Homo-oligomer: A and B are copies of this chain.
Amino acid sequence: MAVLSEEQSMLRDAAKSWVQEQSPVGALRKLRGDGAGLGFDPAAWREMGQMGWAGVVIPEAHGGSEFGWLSLGLVLEEMGRTLAASPLLATSAAAAALTLGGTDDQKAEWLPKLAGGEVIGALAVDEGPHHAPGKIALKAERSAVGWTLTGAKTFVLDGMAADLLVVAARTSGQPGEASGITLFLVPGDAAGLKRQALKLADSRGAANISFEGVEVRQDAALAGGLDLLDQVLDRARALLAAEMLGSASQAFETTLDYLKTRVQFGQVIGSFQALQHRAAKMYVELELARSAVEAALAALDAQAPNAAELVSLAKTRAGETFHLVSNEMVQMHGGIGMTDEHDAGLYLKRARAAEAAFGGQAFHRDRYARLQGF
């Protein structure tokens, strides 16, 4: 665990107790049963807004607390522990797009509402089954009032709930080219925007969204192309890695408890050396992942030049670790771990969904290597 400032410790402790009390794993089960389509509980989200979580990475000038990415990561880690559902990650990523690429007017219009949680934001980037920011094809063409957007986005996290979509579009060039990308702010109620709710294995809210000649004003464009998109994505990735670290930590601790109590062959199964070594290896992976996640978040706060590299490292290691731990959680629980009644399956499903979102391990290993010219 990183060395925290006093305000960070307080934030983390507050998040921990709120999450444990107000949003235990049972809350996700309830949402799953409801099938409301948003993927989170609006009342819980209002509370998070009141606690200021949506403003942690938003400048004080625009109504946030400006505590930074490491601080927000602490909150998400705690939420990850119970698989707590909320649009906090997506909203904070949208806020990052504004903070990094918005004009003063754009910021003044949107950031205070995002900071208070009144407006839910989301990133609309990918257009196929795999994360591929370079392959954007959705077209943005000049129109009388500004721009016309035509195309479709897939797997938009919290896309059903979003009031404000940050949409990556192509103003020129061909899919695969680095130049010609612009981010647009698109209100969720824009005409021609159609959403299809996705029922995912991990019960997280997501949508496919089509843009059938959606008109936006001239000032809907943010300043900065693929570079801006990459910076925004890196913030989403680092937050997701923090959340995954929390989920993996909880999955590990639950499994460890089981190892200490389940008896077979007259022994607590945690006394079997083969399981002990596997548990120890999970601990090693968790600690390495924690170091990478905290370093990535700190690098974003410091705007360090190697932040992108550290984010890919963090997302990869959090992914590998959660992958391993969620598999071992099922296996070490044996039959009971295969039942829907037990939480193991929930962590397993979340693991794969979180791995795939914003680039899986293979994507980030490749990106890490490319960033090092390898």
Contact = CB atoms under 8 A, between A and B. Distances in A.
Interface of A: 272-274, 276-277
Contacts of A277: 274
Nearest to A280: B274
Contacts of A272: 273
Nearest to A271: B273
A272 B273 CA distance: 7
A274 B281 CA distance: 12
A277 B277 CA distance: 11
Across the A-B interface, the 5 shortest Cβ-Cβ residue pairs: A273-B273, A273-B274, A274-B277, A274-B274, A272-B273
Q: Is the interface of A mostly helix, strand, loop or mixed?
A: helix
A338 to B, nearest CB: 22
A266 to B, nearest CB: 15
Contacts of A274: 273-274, 276-277
Q: How many copies does the complex hold?
A: 2
A67 to B, nearest CB: 44
Contacts of A273: 272-274
A267 to B, nearest CB: 11
Nearest to A276: B274
Contacts of A276: 274
A296 to B, nearest CB: 30
A273 to B, nearest CB: 4
Nearest to A278: B274
A67 B273 CA distance: 48
A273 B273 CA distance: 5
Nearest to A272: B273
6 contacts: A272-B273, A273-B273, A273-B274, A274-B274, A274-B276, A274-B277
A274 B272 CA distance: 8
Nearest to A277: B274
A264 to B, nearest CB: 13
A277 B274 CA distance: 7
A277 B273 CA distance: 10
A277 B275 CA distance: 10
A227 to B, nearest CB: 34
A280 to B, nearest CB: 10
A272 B276 CA distance: 11
A143 B272 CA distance: 73
A272 B277 CA distance: 11
A223 to B, nearest CB: 43
A365 to B, nearest CB: 16
A270 to B, nearest CB: 12
A33 to B, nearest CB: 40
A274 B276 CA distance: 8
A194 to B, nearest CB: 37
A272 B272 CA distance: 9
A273 B271 CA distance: 10
A318 B277 CA distance: 27
A273 B276 CA distance: 10
A274 B275 CA distance: 8
A257 B272 CA distance: 23
Nearest to A275: B273
